[in-house]
Each structure stands twice: as C-alpha cells, then as structure tokens.
Amino acid sequence: MIRSPLITVMTDAVMKAARSLKRDFGEVEALQVTLKGPGDFVSAADRKAEKTLREALEKARPGYGFVMEESGIVEGSDKSHRWHIDPLDGTTNFLHGFPHFAISVGLERDEQLVAGVIYDPIKDEMFVAEKGKGAFLNNRRIRVSGRRDMSQALVGCGIPHLGKGGHGQLIRELAAVSVRAAGVRRSGSAALDIAYVACGRLDGFWERGLNSWDMAAGLAILREAGGFASDADGGVNPLASGSIACGNEALHRELVEVLKGARA
C-alpha cells in the first residue's frame, strides 16, 4: 500500500466517513419493511458522510477546493487543487439494503487527476492510487486484465434510471456489446465498476450521464493500473463529457468502436 502523506490523509478521511455509513446501512436494512421506507434516512446518511469527509480533508489540506455530490462546487484559496467527492456511490443500492456501494475521493491538481481512493465498507476493500506510484487493492498491487478478445470479456455498464433519459441509446449499445462479449454486468456503482476494471474483475466498462465525483478517483486508479479511458464516444476528457469507456488498451479501443457502431 502507498504510505505517502497524501494517501494517508485521504484514507483516514474515508475510513472516518465509512464508520457511520456502515452503521447507517444496518439501520437501512431494518427500515426496508416500513411503509415510509428509508429514503429520508439515506439522504441524511449521505449528507453526514459528505460533511465528515469535507471536515477531515479541509483540516489536513486547508485551501483546497471541493466538487461534491451534495454540496456542489466550493472554491478554495488554492486554485490548483480540488477534491472530487462522492460520499455514497451506489445510493439506490444502499437505499434497498443491497450491499454494494462505496465512498470515492479523487484529487485533481492543475486539471490532472493525481490520486484516488475508493472504499467499499461492506467488503472492506480499499482501492488506492497516486500518480507514479501504482494502484493497490488493500495491500496488493493491481493491474487491468490481459484479455484482448471481446468474446472472453466481462463488461460492466450503467443503466440510466427513472427520469434520466438516454434509455434508447443504452438499449442500442447494450445490444451491440452483449452479442460480442462473454457477459455484461450492471452493479449500480460506477466508482466500483471502474475500480473493478483496474483490478481485472471487469475487462471493460462504459456509462453515460455521470458526474466528476463518480469518475475522478476511479480514473486515477485505473490509469495507475495500466488502464485506458476516454469518454464513451472516444473523446479524451471523460470528466468534462460526463461519460466513460475504459479497459486495457485493446479492449478499450474495441469497446469504443462497438459503441460508435451502435449510434442511431
């Protein structure tokens, strides 16, 4: 595992937020049987985790800016650094007592992603990377998979939820990928999907309609694990476009071509 001061700051903040999220998840499981459901409770858990992360990171790195799911953009006095924070990636999973979600923190320096931490508190899996220092899952160095043939690949995707739009495009893309790939999966957490590509559990992944906090940490980890990423149309800036396609060099290239071929 990387032991730099930066990664220590990030992992300490994430573990602090994870403690309350894990407790809250236990409450959510109990709330499934109630008529009102756990929606308001989950919103409060999300905000509480974001507040914990922000306070810990502000204390350790005063002046850094923030891009956050709940609180939006907060400009810092240090214009060269920004945290991209998703305190609960996989909110719908969490809401339903489905144990697959993560805390995601990425650091941008001078418009370059330089570090990422993604933590799955249920499985106790910490994905970590810092530019030039490699990518790790807990104490193990990770790399993208070596598969080069789409017919052997397990590919992740995102499916737009109610009110989001883009369903027709997704159906065309899903049809195009599923006839070529060994399998397609939808987990409900983009951050973990990208981390899974980084460690070889998935061979590729694509999704549209994302925000920077969904992708920033994952992109930093993926690139340090030898992965390639673009937006879903092959453009160079996933954060700006709000979409991603990723994998090892060969499968990333093929995935982008398949997605292009699925256009209406």
Same fold, 5-141 and 150-262: no
pLDDT at site 211: 96
Mean pLDDT of 188-211: 98
Q: Does the annotation list 69 as a binding residue?
A: yes
Which pLDDT score, from 0 to 100, does residue 44 have? Answer: 85
pLDDT digits (tens, 9 = 90+) for 51-99: 999 999 999 999 999 999 888 999 999 999 999 999 999 998 988 889 9
Sheet containing strand 112-120, strands side by side: 72-74, 64-68, 78-89, 102-109, 112-120, 125-130, 135-137, 140-141
Sequence spans of domains, the chain: 5-141, 150-262
Domain over 5-141 is classified CATH 2.40.240.20: no
Residues 6 or more apart whose Cβ sits within 8 Å of residue 33: none
Task: Decide if 135 contacts 224 (C-beta within 8 A).
Answer: yes
Question: Which tokens sit at 14?
Answer: 């994430």
Which pLDDT score is estimated for 67? Answer: 98
Fold for the domain defined by 150-262: D-Maltodextrin-Binding Protein; domain 2 (3.40.190)
Is 255 labelled a binding residue? no
- Cα–chain center distance at 97: 19
For the residues 229-236, what does the mean pLDDT come to? 97
What's the pLDDT tens digit per position in 105-163? Answer: 999 999 999 999 999 999 999 999 999 999 999 999 999 999 999 999 999 999 998 87
What is the pLDDT, as a whole number, of residue 169? 95
Residue 88 is assigned to a ligand binding site: yes
Q: Is 113 assigned a ligand-binding role in the annotation?
A: no
pTM, two decimals, is 0.95
